[in-house]
Amino acid sequence: MLEYIKQWLAQRRGGSVGDLDADNLPTPKTAGDQPLSRCRLIVLDLETTGLNASKDEVIAIGAVAIEGGVIHLDDQFDLILRRPELDIRETVLIHGIGPEALTQGHETEDALLHLLDWMNGDPILAYHSAFDQKFLEKTLKAQLGYTLPHLWMDVAELLPAIFPKAETKGKSLDHWADFFGLEVSERHHAAADAMVTAELTLIALSTARRSGVKTLKDVTEKLHYQRRLQNMHRF
C-alpha cells in the first residue's frame, strides 16, 4: 500500500493541484441500511502540533480500513506531511516527529488529495473523534477548499455503548486496550494508534452484531443513544 501511495503522489505531481475539481472526489456516504458485514470503514488518527484546532496543525495522518469484519493490512494510510515551517518544539517528545521528518514529508496538498481518494467517502471512526474531525476538516478546507461533510463515529462512545459494564479503570485508548489485552506497538504514532483503535472497533462491532446491531444506521443510533445517556448523567 505504501508503494501505491508513492506512485499516486508521483502521478499527482505531474499535474496541477490548483486545478482540483471537488466534484470529482468521492462523495461521502451516509448512514443507511448498509450491512456492517459489507461496509468499508476508515479508522483514523492524527498527530498534531498541539491540542488547539484554532492554532495548531496536522503533521501526520495514519489510517486503516476495515472491510468485511477484517482489518486489511494492505489497505492503510501512513504519511508525515511536509510542513517545515511549523514549530514542533512543545510536542516533539510526544509524537517523535522532528524538523527533519517535517522537511522530508509529503507535500500537504498531495497527501490530502490522496487521503480523500483513498477514503472513498467511507465513514470515519476515531478515538475521541471530535478532535480529529476538527483538525482534518480545518486542514482540508485551508489546503484544498474542501468542505464536504463526512460521517464520523466516536470509538470512545462506541465501546461503553457496547460494553456498559466494562471495568476499564479509565476512559483512555490505553485503558480499553489493556482491558481487552491488546498490545499497542507504539503510542502517539498515528498509524499505530489507528491500528489499535481499529482492533477495538472490530471487537465492539462483532459484539454489537450478536445483539442485533446489523447496519451502519444501527451503529449511529446506538451512538446517539449513548450520547443522550451521557448528557443525562451530567445533571
pLDDT tens readout for residues 66-118? 998 899 889 999 999 998 888 777 666 567 677 788 888 899 999 999 999 99
**Angle, alpha carbons 126-218-67 (nearest 5°):** 55
Of residues 206 and 97, more confidence is placed in 206
Residue 12's pLDDT is: 47
* pLDDT score of 16 more than 50: no
CA distance 77 to 118: 8
**Fold entry, domain 35-233:** Nucleotidyltransferase; domain 5 (3.30.420)
The domain ranges of the chain are 35-233
Please check whether residue 114 is in contact with residue 98, taking contact to mean a CB–CB distance below 8 angstroms. Answer: no
Helix H or strand E encompassing 40: strand 40-48
